[in-house]
Chain A
Amino acid sequence: MKPAPFDYVAATEMSEALDALHQGGTEARVIAGGQSLVPMLNMRLARPAMLVDITRIPELSRIEAKGDQVTIGAAVRQSALERWPDLADRLPLVRAALPWVGHAQLRNRGTVCGSVAHADPSAELPLCLIALGGNVTLRSRRKTRTVAARDFFQGMMSTDLAPGEMIVSVAFPARKDGTGFAFREVARRHGDFAIVACAATARPDGTATLAVGGVADTPATLDLPADMADLDDRLNEFAWHLQARDDLHATARYRRDLVRRLGHTTLKEALSCRD
């Protein structure tokens, strides 16, 4: 299994990357950590004519906590975020989710933004980005634009990214006082893609949001009021609404059941750990 031939641009400046992506148009692709793209190249599921490596552009390897959000550049590896000293304080949900993203050997290369760009329906980082209401900043030679995560993910492995554009960063809202977070996942083995993953955020007034990955084509959210008397009914309705399908890993019925139970536990955990 070898990739089909492609041109390779190792950009060291943003303008080089953007020029190359502009020229390459639909035939060009960004390569970041390569942990999703190279398997697709090896299996020839992808045959781009040009790859633009963005990992050597210095300004993309920054993690910045400014105001009420944490901005993560496109060259930041998942392991670098895992080791960021402020992670537990600023992004407790992401901290809980990161160990579930593949294995350490993959996180050492894979980037945070690459996972968002790849938009696998089971992926943990897109799920967190949606649960927290984060956003994605895209840039082309012509313009820079910022899109809410909820609008960025459009379908299974399909996003709002246009030809000639790249993600320069994603931004997660930082933790505020009195909020709580929880992450839970069921997978065949630790490190495998999620059958169902749940991320919950709870606010000081007792309202909460549950985000679920692995079931629908994109992560889906359910907003809950402080009065959770009918929580189980709401979760049941949500589980059906996601239109789970049978596949190799699990039946639709099992997935619905996980949404109900894991969703419940994750929400309760988020509510109870508010501080």
Chain B
Amino acid sequence: MPRLTKDDVQPVGFKLNGRPVVVRVTPRTLLTDALRHEIGATGTHVGCEHGVCGACTVQVDGEPARACLMLAHQADGCDIRTVEGLAQGDALTPLQEAFRAHFALQCGFCTAGILMTLDALFSRQPDADEDAIREALSGHLCRCTGYAPIVQAALTARNRIKGGPIDA
């Protein structure tokens, strides 16, 4: 049974955007800090550190979850995806393209988390309607955009992903 004492720095292995990684951290290290400080994957942002703002949202085994409310050791063996896993080189995903086209970000602090939530939503539910999109977004705070452009971008991306008309 894995049993760690508080100052033990122990390896924890998980998949990060498809690649196996191992970080060495104490039990109290949060997944956010393991990603940002140990791996240097700073795309995942940290706002409130108590689950409210959504900035730190990543995908754990395909489902969006707060990285600030996970101990790094709880990610053992999980499949973690972060915003760094979306674009392939310079090629943005349709969702990212739509965010750009609709000015769905200003400071960008909330964006990584929102992208991970919407990306998971469209993989599970490619025809998600506006209500489902707004429901998913309700788990995120954005202090800049007023949300309307984000909803527009999401609708456009959904149409692209479904192969229908692009403009929502």
* Contact surface of A with B, Cβ cutoff 8 Å: 1-13, 16, 20, 31, 34-35, 38-39, 41-43, 49, 51, 53, 55, 79, 99, 102-106, 108-109, 189-191
Contacts and interface: CB of A to CB of B under 8 A. Distances in A.
Nearest to A2: B28
Interface string B1-41: 11111110000000000000000001110100100000000
B66 A105 contact: yes
Interface string B22-62: 00001110100100000000000000011100100100100
Interface in B49-89: 49-51, 54, 57, 60, 63-66, 68-71, 73-74, 76
Contacts of A104: 64, 117, 135-136, 139
Given A3-B28, A34-B70, A39 B63 contact: no
B138 interface: yes
Contacts of B54: 103, 105
B1 A103 contact: no
A41 to B, nearest CB: 8
Interface of B: 1-7, 26-28, 30, 33, 49-51, 54, 57, 60, 63-66, 68-71, 73-74, 76, 117, 135-136, 138-139
B9 to A, nearest CB: 12
A9 B3 CA distance: 4
B101 to A, nearest CB: 25
Contacts of A16: 1
A39 B63 CA distance: 20
B51 A35 contact: yes
Given A38-B51, A104-B135, A10 B57 contact: no
- Among B2, B65, B66, B135, find the residue whose CB has the most chain A CB atoms closer than 10 A: B65
B165 to A, nearest CB: 28
Contact of A38 (B5, B68, B117, B139): B68
B51 A7 contact: no
Contacts of B6: 5-8, 49
A201 B69 CA distance: 35
A53 B73 CA distance: 10
